[in-house]
Amino acid sequence: MFHGPLTLLMRSVRSDALKRSAHLARIASVILILLFLIAAHLHESTSSAPGLDLFRSIAFLAIALINLAGVGHFCNSITEEKEEGTLSLLLLANISPLGILLGKSTNRILSVILIFAAQFPFALLAVTLGGITVLQIVATFLALSAHLFLIANLSLLMSVWSRRSQEAAAAMVMVLMILYGFPYAVYQAARQARRSTIFQSAGLSEWSDWLLDLNAQISVVDQVQRILGTDGDYQFLSWQLISSLIFGTIAFLIAWASFCRIIWAPDTDRPTRMDVKTRSRWKSILIPRAWRQAVTWKDYYFIAGGISGLIARVVFYSISLLIMVFYRRKIYAQMEIDGVQLFRDLLLVLLCIETLVLASQFFHTERKSGTLPTLLMLPQTPLRITWEKAFGCFLGVLPTIVFLFIPESFLQERYFFESFVLTPRMLTLICGLLVMAHLTALCSLIVKWGALPLAIGLALIAGGLFAPFIAVAKSLIRSAGEGALAEASPMLYSTAIVCGAIQFEMVRRLTRIAGS
pLDDT at residue 269, rounded to an integer: 47
pLDDT at residue 1, rounded to an integer: 41
Contact 358, 376 (CB under 8 A): no
Which residue, among 389, 382, 384, has the nearest Cα to 507 in the 3D structure?
382
Which residue, among 220, 47, 37, 51, has the nearest Cα to 144 in the 3D structure?
220
Q: Which of 276-280, 395-399, 471-475 has the highest mean pLDDT?
A: 395-399
- 272 pLDDT more than 60: no
pLDDT at residue 276, rounded to an integer: 47
d(CA 439, CA 95): 38
Span 260-270, mean pLDDT? 62
State pLDDT tens for residues 74-118: 888 888 888 777 777 877 777 888 888 888 888 888 888 888 888
pLDDT at residue 420, rounded to an integer: 66
Q: Which of 98-107, 272-281, 475-484 has the highest mean pLDDT?
A: 98-107
State pLDDT tens for residues 361-398: 888 888 877 788 888 888 888 889 899 999 999 999 99
- 290 pLDDT more than 60: yes
- The distance of Cα 450 from the centroid of its chain, to the nearest Å, equals 8
Collapse the DSSP code of 197 into the 3-class scheme (helix H, G, I; strand E, B; otherwise coil) and give the result: coil
More confident residue, 276 or 347: 347
pLDDT at residue 234, rounded to an integer: 77
pLDDT at residue 192, rounded to an integer: 64
DSSP per residue, 100-149:
HHIIIIIHHHHHHHHHHHHHHHHHTTHHHHSS--HHHHHHHHHHHHHHHH
pLDDT at residue 286, rounded to an integer: 67
Residue 478 CB burial class (10 angstroms; 0-12, 13-18, ≥19):
middle
Q: What H or E segment, with its residue span, contains residue 74? A: none
User: Model-level pTM greater than 0.85?
Assistant: no
CA–CA distance from 54 to each of 58, 120, 267, 284, 459 (Å)?
6, 14, 52, 59, 18
How far the first Cα of the chain sits from its last, in Å, is 46
More confident residue, 422 or 296: 296
Contacting residues for 71 by C-beta, under 8 A, at least 6 apart: 155, 169, 172, 173, 176, 450, 453
d(CA 82, CA 91): 13
- 155 pLDDT more than 70: yes
Q: How confident is the model at residue 163 (pLDDT cuts 50, 70, 90)?
A: confident
How much helix, strand and coil, in percent to the nearest 5, is found in the chain? 80, 0, 20
Q: What percent of the chain has pLDDT over 90?
A: 16
pLDDT at residue 268, rounded to an integer: 41
Span 201-210, mean pLDDT? 66
d(CA 73, CA 456): 13
pLDDT at residue 270, rounded to an integer: 46
pLDDT at residue 271, rounded to an integer: 45
More confident residue, 142 or 187: 142
Q: How confident is the model at residue 514 (pLDDT cuts 50, 70, 90)?
A: confident
DSSP per residue, 157-175:
HHHHH-SSHHHHHHHHHHH
Q: What is the mean pLDDT of the chain?
A: 80
More confident residue, 199 or 391: 391
